[in-house]
Amino acid sequence: MPARNILVINCGSSSIKFALVNEAQEPFPLSGLAERLGSPEAALHWQQGETRDSLMIPGADHRLALSQLLPLVQRAAGGELHGIGHRVVHGGERFTAASRLDEISLLAIRQTAPLAPLHNPANLLGIEAAMKLFPNLVQVAVFDTAFHQTLPEYAYRYAVPEALYREHGVRRYGFHGTSHRYVSRRAAELAGLALGDSSWLVAHLGNGCSTCAIVDGQSRDTSMGLTPLEGLVMGTRSGDVDPNLHSHLARALGWSLEQIDAMLNKDSGLLGLSGLSNDMRALEQAREQGHAGASLAVEVFCYRLAKSLAAMSCALPRLDGLVFTGGIGENSPLIRSKTVDHLRLLGLHLDQPANARCVRGVAGAIQADGSPRVLVVPTNEERQIALDTLALLDA
């Protein structure tokens, strides 16, 4: 059988990120982004091999953008597209794994929308458009939450009245599951351990950040909760704050729920702490030049990350390794080093030359002699979504 091609789609409210994944080939034959959909500036950008190109598609919606994309995909796939994998943010308790899209699963995704009012409706826009455009292709939804459905109840329940859980689904779900799953499998391969008998801490550090405890290939705890706001300091998200902050701001400053929501999700995190940027690269540069806000943002980020990893270690029977991934985790020796400095009680120490070498897609072990493993493992959510789609094609 020739190697198969899967189109992976990640739909936002005004954007579509896409990648064509070939099962036998490491680089993606085609990848890109449709952005500003629904506006006069709507545009499609793509990369094929070394070639980059763009097309203005003024006023295009998701369906029109996908139809413009179709000939590019068909050409890059040599006319052989085998399926489409859609990233869906929230699968609630209904989805514990990827699911073939049909009327029943679509209805269940729609019913989950109250848990992710910004994300799931946007994901659905892409799914509905793709199902109309490609009615004969197998399409699969892959959920950010599904991997964490193995959390024990004592890890996923909040200490709030039971009815909120039973009647309204108020519990911890966790996100970034596709990435945590992918890198834990890769980590076991790199370490020469059986995934089914391994025990990892994973730090996914991108614009969104989360930690995860993974035992025998299953998620046992994770730092994000009902929404992706819980847990670590992120690019623009605060992570954990005192839950009474909401009522304090409402009473003391007269802020509305919308204002508080926007502040915690869009104006906080690295951006809020530094007063400068949500981008770790920019903060590292500013810190070098003595910017106090950038310096503080880096310190808070690393300390809070280390605290979360130490908390996650409660879920492990032993530590086979700590894994760094995501844009920051894969590229920042400084953040890895500062974080591990706070984790001496776990016996972790880095080999600094190895730490410096693992950047820009280089995977490897960076621990010093005598320390438990510390690995840098580039994530690849698109490939994992394609693998899940292929598995359902074969089923």
* Interacting residues with ligand ADP (CB under 6 A): 206-208, 235, 279-281, 284, 326-328, 331-332
Q: Please give the full DSSP string across 380-394, using - where no structure is assigned.
A: -HHHHHHHHHHHHHH
**Are the C-beta atoms of 327 and 209 separated by less than 8 Å?**
no
**Are the C-beta atoms of 262 and 254 separated by less than 8 Å?**
no
Residue with smaller CB distance to ligand ADP, 120 or 278: 278
Cα separation of 121 and 101, whole Å? 15
Cα separation of 16 and 223, whole Å? 27
Q: Supply the minimum distance, in Å, between the C-beta of residue 235 and ligand ADP.
A: 6
Q: Supply the minimum distance, in Å, between the C-beta of residue 332 and ligand ADP.
A: 4
SS3 374: strand
End-to-end CA distance of the chain: 16
3-state helix, strand, coil in the chain (%, to 5): 45, 20, 35
Residue with smaller CB distance to ligand ADP, 199 or 379: 379
Measured in degrees and rounded to the nearest 5, phi and psi for residue 290 equal 90, 15
Tell me which residue of 120, 127, 121, 122 sits closest to 86, measured CA to CA.
127
Cα separation of 153 and 223, whole Å? 15
Residue with smaller CB distance to ligand ADP, 138 or 282: 282
Question: Between vectors from CA 16 to CA 11 and to CA 20, what angle results, nearest 5°?
Answer: 105
Cα separation of 380 and 180, whole Å? 10
Task: Provide the 8-state DSSP code for 350.
Answer: B
Partner residues linked to 17 by β-bridges: 10, 33
Residue with smaller CB distance to ligand ADP, 45 or 281: 281
With CB atoms as reference, the residue minimizing the distance to ligand ADP is 327
Q: How many C-beta atoms surround the C-beta of residue 184 within 10 A?
A: 28
Q: Supply the minimum distance, in Å, between the C-beta of residue 324 and ligand ADP.
A: 11
Residue with smaller CB distance to ligand ADP, 221 or 284: 284
Tell me which residue of 140, 113, 126, 119 sits closest to 37, measured CA to CA.
126
Q: Supply the minimum distance, in Å, between the C-beta of residue 228 and ligand ADP.
A: 11
Burial class (CB in 10 A: 0-12, 13-18, 19+), 42: buried
Residue with smaller CB distance to ligand ADP, 172 or 336: 336
- Known catalytic residue: 144? yes
Catalytic hit among 102, 144, 197, 267? 144
Q: Supply the minimum distance, in Å, between the C-beta of residue 164 and ligand ADP.
A: 30
Residue with smaller CB distance to ligand ADP, 83 or 235: 235
- Residues identified as active-site: 144
